[in-house]
Amino acid sequence: MTTEIEVRRFDAPDDRLDMKKSGGISILKTCNGNAGMHAIFEPGWTWEKDEKPLLGSPDTCPMHHTGYCMSGNLVVRMVEADVETRIATGDFFEIPPGHDAYVDGDERVELILFSPPEHSH
């Protein structure tokens, strides 16, 4: 654990998932292993079409997300249960693995996502 303050900006990410005209995710990693992501999904974005191929085409999104919706409407579906939940501007959320999602409406979705350090098994 460090005792120094670390400040990072999403305009200089460590990694980026580029979804071309559909948006993208900028990823920052802190020195203790935490990750922060700034996701932008344009109208028409779907997990199936735009993100799934970049992740190696798993059946559903394998990640756990904790985050905050800064703008737009994202509909997230728990695939096995076939239950949809709308995430809207101002919502703080937690999404378990096993989902897909799509942008609902004409407004860009902008999210900030947080991930704890990845633990080796």
Distance CA 56, CA 106 (A): 28
Could you list the pLDDT tens digit for every one of the 121 residues in the chain? 668 899 999 999 999 999 999 999 999 999 988 999 999 999 999 999 999 998 899 999 998 999 999 999 999 999 999 999 999 999 999 999 999 999 999 999 999 999 877 654 3
106 in a structural domain: yes
What is the number of structural domains in the chain? 1
The predicted pLDDT at position 106 comes to 97
What is the chain's percent helix, strand, coil content, to nearest 5? 10, 45, 45
Structure tokens at 116: 């704890």
Looking up residue 64, the CATH number of its domain turns out to be 2.60.120.10
9 in a structural domain: no
Helix (H) or strand (E) holding 86: strand 83-88
Q: Is 0.95 surpassed by the pTM of this model?
A: no
Nearby residues of 7 by Cβ (< 8 Å), 6 or more positions away: none
